[in-house]
Amino acid sequence: VFWHSRGVGSFADWAAFKKDFQAEFFLIDPTKTAALALHNREQYGQEKRMLDEYIDFFQALVKQATYSNGLQLCLAFQDGLHSMLIEHINNLAEGHPDNE
15-34 confidence digits (pLDDT tens)? 988 888 888 887 678 888 88
Query: What average pLDDT does the segment 54-68 reach?
Result: 91
- How many CA atoms within 13 Å lie on the side-chain side of 75? 8
Cα 17 from Cα 23, distance rounded (Å): 10
With 0-12 / 13-18 / 19 or more C-beta atoms within 10 angstroms meaning exposed / middle / buried, residue 86 is middle
pLDDT of res. 59: 94
